[in-house]
Amino acid sequence: MMVLVITACPAGLRGDLTKWVMEISPGVFVGRPTARIRDILWDRTVELCKDGRALLVYSTDSEQGMEFKTHRHDWVPTDFDGLSLMVRPASAGKRDRFGNGRRSEWAKARFKKQRR
């Protein structure tokens, strides 16, 4: 099984992909091509995508059961002891105690006492 998600890519690429896989939503393609065809589709996607982004998820015989490929995507697949996880880049804003780019201003909120 293969899922390919493209964003901001030319319409001609969508036409090429629909020859081999089904478009179930704009920019989301699903199918079961062979590994050779999948690699050809990915190479074609990277070639034609230019300023767009692409994300490919496909099933494999690994412990996790799938692998990822990305092109010009903010999130990067990273190997953690044999487990592939998508790592997001840290934002330039404030970080919480775990190093995430979340804002923790809710903890600094002060409440006024109600008068009775």
Residue 57, pLDDT > 80, answer: yes
What does the block give as tokens for 46? 């990277």
Residue 112, pLDDT > 70, answer: no
Round to whole Å and give the CA distance between 76 and 69. 9
Q: Which residues contact 115 (CB under 8 A, 6 or more apart)?
A: none
In the chain, where the domains are located: 2-108
Q: In the block, which residue shows the tokens 């490929």? A: 69
Mean pLDDT estimate for the chain: 84
Round to whole Å and give the CA distance between 27 and 21. 12
* pLDDT computed for residue 69 by the predictor: 94
Q: What is the third-level CATH fold of 2-108?
A: Alpha-Beta Plaits (3.30.70)
pLDDT digits (tens, 9 = 90+) for 60-78: 998 899 999 999 988 888 8
